[in-house]
Amino acid sequence: MRRRPIPAFAAAAMATVLAVAAPASAAPADKPQVLSSWTQTSAASYEAWAAARANQGGWSAYGFDWSTDYCTSSPDNPFGFPFRMACARHDFGYRNHRAAGLFPAAKPRLDDAFHADLKRVCAHYSGTRKASCDGAAWTYYQGAKVFGIS
């Protein structure tokens, strides 16, 4: 049986598809540094992560997992305190450090960053309301330290 040659336009189209379809593991080499920079305890780290989260498409080459269940089985806004985004960043840190094989070493820092995010939420309150928020933040932080696995 004689093979027919592939037309030039079909060969060019296949070459283009193969060139664009890079393997998922071909994330940029600085992925661990970017991941680390977005999961520090500072407000600047939180703001950089939040900006990236708002523009996830701009970071698609990195293959980050942006999924979240927010505060898992705890309320996202306990007693009206908006902890939802702190929980989302915590999930981001856990999921992406785990996928990169960096989780066990990073877990204490991720939990500390979570606590720092929660305390920044509480800084917007004063008096007994702030004390209540700080107590809820401490409880969430302790829960993450002890039970945080995902």
**What is residue 25's predicted lDDT score, i.e. its pLDDT?**
55
Within a domain: 75: yes
Contact present, 40 and 109 (Cβ < 8 Å): yes
**What is residue 101's predicted lDDT score, i.e. its pLDDT?**
96
Distance CA 130, CA 123 (A): 7
- The structural domain count of the chain equals 1
**What is residue 133's predicted lDDT score, i.e. its pLDDT?**
98
Within a domain: 21: no
Give me the active site residues, please. 90
Within a domain: 95: yes
Within a domain: 44: yes
Residues 6+ apart with CB under 8 A from 106: 36, 39, 93, 97
**What is residue 116's predicted lDDT score, i.e. its pLDDT?**
98
pTM above 0.85, yes or no: no
Radius of gyration of the chain (CA): 21
**What is residue 149's predicted lDDT score, i.e. its pLDDT?**
82
- Per-residue pLDDT tens listing for the chain (150 residues): 454 544 443 344 334 333 333 444 578 999 999 999 999 999 999 999 999 999 999 999 999 999 999 999 999 999 999 999 999 999 999 999 999 999 999 999 999 999 999 999 999 999 999 999 999 999 999 999 999 985
Domain CATH for 72: 1.20.90.10
Within a domain: 5: no
DSSP assignment of 67-114 equals ---TTTTS-SSGGG---HHHHHHHHHHHHHHHHTT-HHHHHHHHHHHH
Within a domain: 6: no
Distance CA 62, CA 29 (A): 9
Nearest to 113 by CA among 60, 46, 53: 46
* Host domain of residue 133: 28-147
Within a domain: 18: no
Within a domain: 10: no
